[in-house]
Amino acid sequence: MNGTLRLRIAALLWGLALAAVLVFFLFPLYWMLVTALKPRAEVTLLPPSLLPYVQFRPTLENFAAVLTERPQPILGGWVALSPFPAALLNSVLIGGTATVASVLLGTFAAYAFSRFHTRGAGDLLFFILSTRMLPPIVVVIPLFLMFTELGLRNSFWGLTTLYTTAGLPFVVWMMKGFFDEIAREYEEAAMTDGYSRLQAIWRVLLPEALPAMLATAVFVLIFAWNEFVFAQLLNPDRYSTAPIFLYSVIGYGRVEWARMAATSVMFLVPVVAFTILVRRHLLRGVTFGAVRR
Amino acid sequence: MTVAQVRVERLTKHFDGMVAVASLDLEVADGEFLVLLGPSGCGKTTTLRCIAGLETPTSGEVWIGSRRVTHLRAADRDIAFVFQFYALYPHLTVYDNIAFPLRATGLAREEIHRRVLAVAELLRIPHLLKFRPAQLSGGEQQRVALGRAIVRRPQAFLMDEPLTNVDASFRVDLRVELKHLQQELGTTTIYVTHDQTEAMSLGHRIAVMRSGVLQQVGTPLEVYRSPKTLFVASFIGSPPMNLIPVDLEDHLLRGQDLQVPCPPTLPMGAPRHLVLGVRPEDVSFVDSQDAHAYGTILTREPLGDETVYAVAVGDQVVRVVTEPHVRWEPGTNAALAFSLERLHLYDPVTGALVL
């Protein structure tokens, strides 16, 4: 009796603690969503209003404004929309391509580091990681000069290559750790079963590595998606990404909080959608319980 | 049926300057079951992996059948490898695991299906076909791994301690099954183990290795009866062979509380210090006038079919295996005689057999 009561109290306290943590992490998102739905005058009220329908009438005018202000003709002049949809598309294409490229290249590099005895492998791995040790602002000037020289500014491939390179160290390190955990006997079994090494990797290793690759991809995508400094300096005019547009929404003289919030909500959607899509794989975990070490 | 002998010539493998296998010569006949036996780190697994093409030899050649395969990739050597940890593909069902090697050959679907079922029947695992490896016990997993190995009918089976991770209760059964299977299929098999019982019971011949060097190749009885080196003598047999240091004096082998007439066949120029080797079953309790050695009985282990005594002779412990009805009490004095025709003499420095 006493014991069950104590258990219940413990469960209740645990639940409360979880709820508190959840509120702490989700409140900024909620505030952003609520702000996006507020009429302009409502935004800067103190204390802030947080409950739509109760404290204010929600409106979609901010979303409409973000999508239609400063219109530019698209689809051969059929419609005119703000630069935001195009910027979002650029982000999807550049971020997506960079993510796929760095996860693929990085996975194979990681495989080589994990499986082959390479002279100076440790130094190489450190070197790969060290490319990420400098803050972007330090390398942006040489990069700016390089990109100008090579005609890569305001181009799709310039920024995509840069994001691929930036994502690679993370992928190599993550996937190497993962491959180190997978017994090499799996590929060896496939190789003695009559397959080449590449076929063995493709048919045996990659199905098992998929959850790790997707988890890694989420992080690489989030980096490329949110990156601002390089995008602003290297692609300000063409192929500019969503964060650059977000920056332009801030406005002159006053800060357009509601529109920024509306832009941010739309900006979040693709990454959240991707994460939800791969969530099943992320949770599936590693099924390599079949090998006892 | 092609002749699928496996031949290894002067095989050497270094790892970072460490010698794993040193100039190994080995020939396995078509259809033979050869066991590579030795303690861990003796180079037996490295040898097997070089034959499979999973390691590149530092030097030397590997032949399978009439082909020199030293520089072929594993996939082109037409061998099947069975791993200690089974290495079943976790994302595939048992059916697909067994079908996997066949799919590399581009066989027709129906033929693959027919062969997978036949192999499953042979190994008595048809009821497991739809499961995934993680749902099976160790013994079942290793059966599936055997199925995956035999389904392609390769030229040779290479097995790396396949029974070591199987639960002890199934190990003996699976061992018998494995031997039967190899007899049925008649496929050349090289089998690596550190377990001498496994080696003795499975192999047509046993190759004993130590520190990358081949010590002796022979049938189980040859290796047991006439170990060619001190190492083989100490490694094969349970309880192990008694190895007693003796000195050669006046046609007598003398040790502490021990005196044995020197065999007349002892070659001239034999070293003065020797190691006398005698199997526990070749030692018996006798009356003191017939004795070669005197000692005190330390322990008695009645094992049912036989009884093992440990007897302190000088500072050595001599093990004696007797019929179960022979009863001596620990603590009493005993006189021991050796079967003189079954004695071995080794050079303690080189470990080589002197006689």
pLDDT of residue A82: 85
The β-bridge partners of B205 are B34
Chain B residue with CA closest to A183: the answer is B87
Residues of A in contact with B52 (CB under 8 A): 188, 192
pLDDT 10s digits, A94-121: 999 999 999 999 999 999 999 988 888 8
Region A155-159: mean pLDDT is 93
The C-alpha atoms of residue A59 and residue B63 are separated, in whole angstroms, by 80
The C-alpha atoms of residue B31 and residue A3 are separated, in whole angstroms, by 69
Minimum distance, in Å, between the CA of residue A209 and any CA atom of chain B = 11
* Residue A265: inside a domain: yes
Region B338-349: mean pLDDT is 92
Region B163-186: mean pLDDT is 89
Same domain assignment for residues A20 and A104:
no
List domains and CATH numbers for chain B.
6-233 (3.40.50.300), 240-346 (2.40.50.140)
* Residue A67: inside a domain: no
DSSP secondary structure code for residue B92 in this structure: S
Chain A residue with CA closest to B147: the answer is A193
Nearest to A194 among B91, B104, B158 (CB): B104
Widest pairwise Cα distance in chain A: 78
pLDDT tops 90 at residue B191:
yes
Closest by Cα among B101, B110, B106 to B78? B101
pLDDT of residue A283: 63
pLDDT of residue B3: 66
Same domain assignment for residues A55 and A89:
no
| Element at A140 (helix H, strand E) | helix A136-150
Minimum distance, in Å, between the CA of residue B197 and any CA atom of chain A = 24
CB contact under 8 A, B79 and A192: yes
Same domain assignment for residues A172 and A33:
no
pLDDT 10s digits, A49-101: 888 888 888 889 889 988 888 888 777 777 778 888 889 999 999 999 999 99
Lookup result for tokens 């419609």 = A79
Q: Who has greater pLDDT, A3 or A144?
A: A144
User: Minimum mean pLDDT among B69-78, B262-271, B312-321, B336-345: which range?
Assistant: B262-271
The C-alpha atoms of residue A262 and residue A259 are separated, in whole angstroms, by 5
Note whether A118 contacts B: Cβ–Cβ < 8 A.
no
The C-alpha atoms of residue B33 and residue B38 are separated, in whole angstroms, by 16
Closest by Cα among A213, A226, A122 to A170? A213
Share above pLDDT 90 across residues of chain A, in percent, rounded to a whole number = 51
Select the highest-mean-pLDDT range: A237-241, A280-284, B292-296: B292-296
User: Minimum mean pLDDT among A132-141, A279-288, B33-42, B108-117: which range?
Assistant: A279-288
| pTM for the structure as a whole | 0.81
Nearest to B100 among A193, A287, A288 (CB): A193
CB contact under 8 A, B88 and A292: no
Same domain assignment for residues A278 and A196:
yes
Nearest to A183 among B74, B75, B87 (CB): B87
Residues of A in contact with B45 (CB under 8 A): none
pLDDT 10s digits, B80-112: 999 998 899 999 999 999 999 999 988 899 999
Same domain assignment for residues A49 and A94:
no
The C-alpha atoms of residue A112 and residue A281 are separated, in whole angstroms, by 24
Q: DSSP readout, A45-57?
A: -SSPP--BTTTB-
pLDDT of residue B169: 83
* Residue A177: inside a domain: yes
* Residue A42: inside a domain: yes
Residues of B in contact with A287 (CB under 8 A): 90-91, 134
pLDDT of residue A111: 95
Query: Who's near B210: CB < 8 A, 6+ residues apart?
Result: B38, B39, B42, B231, B235
Same domain assignment for residues A93 and A213:
yes
pLDDT of residue A14: 95
Residues of A in contact with B89 (CB under 8 A): 186, 189-190, 204
Chain A residue with CA closest to B166: the answer is A292
Minimum distance, in Å, between the CA of residue A99 and any CA atom of chain B = 25
Nearest to A195 among B75, B91, B138 (CB): B75
Residues of B in contact with A192 (CB under 8 A): 52-54, 74-75, 77, 79-81, 158
Q: In what order do the strands lie in the sheet with B59-64?
A: B18-28, B6-15, B59-64, B67-68
Structural Rg of chain B based on CA atoms: 24
Lookup result for tokens 């990109």 = A147
Number of domains in chain A: 2
pLDDT tops 60 at residue A284:
no
Region A114-133: mean pLDDT is 88
pLDDT of residue A288: 37
* Residue A263: inside a domain: yes
CB contact under 8 A, B90 and A192: no
User: Minimum mean pLDDT among A33-42, B202-211, B273-282: which range?
Assistant: A33-42
pLDDT tops 60 at residue B21:
yes
* Residue A207: inside a domain: yes
Classify B297 as helix, strand or coil.
strand
Closest by Cα among A188, A75, A225 to B85? A188
CATH number of the domain at A178, please: 1.10.3720.10
* Residue A213: inside a domain: yes
Residues of A in contact with B85 (CB under 8 A): 183, 185, 291-293
pLDDT tops 70 at residue A155:
yes
Same domain assignment for residues A153 and A52:
no
Enter the tokens of residue A120.
Answer: 């100076």
Residues of B in contact with A191 (CB under 8 A): 53-54, 73-75
Residues listed for chain A: 293
DSSP secondary structure code for residue A1 in this structure: -
pLDDT of residue A118: 82
Enter the tokens of residue B27.
Answer: 């020939």
Q: Compute the mean pLDDT over every residue in chain A, rounded to the nearest whole number.
A: 88
* Residue A72: inside a domain: no
pLDDT tops 50 at residue B270:
yes
User: Backbone dihedral region of A38: left (phi > 0), alpha (psi from -120 to 50 degrees) or beta?
Assistant: beta
The C-alpha atoms of residue A220 and residue A226 are separated, in whole angstroms, by 10
Region A160-178: mean pLDDT is 93
A25 phi and psi angles, rounded to 5 deg: -80, -30
Checking ipTM against 0.90, whether it exceeds it is no
Note whether A195 contacts B: Cβ–Cβ < 8 A.
yes
Among A42, A59, A76, identify where a domain stops.
A59
Minimum distance, in Å, between the CA of residue B87 and any CA atom of chain A = 5
Same domain assignment for residues A18 and A124:
no
Same domain assignment for residues A152 and A219:
yes
Same domain assignment for residues A91 and A54:
no
Q: Compute the mean pLDDT over every residue in chain B, rounded to the nearest whole number.
A: 91
pLDDT of residue A223: 92
Same domain assignment for residues A164 and A215:
yes
Widest pairwise Cα distance in chain B: 78
The C-alpha atoms of residue A115 and residue A292 are separated, in whole angstroms, by 19
Domain range for residue A230? 84-287
CB contact under 8 A, B87 and A288: no
Region B142-167: mean pLDDT is 91
Region B259-275: mean pLDDT is 86
Same domain assignment for residues A259 and A164:
yes
pLDDT of residue A285: 46
Cα torsion angle, A67, A68, A73, A75, sign: positive
Query: Who's near B76: CB < 8 A, 6+ residues apart?
Result: B53, B69
pLDDT of residue A290: 36
pLDDT of residue A291: 41
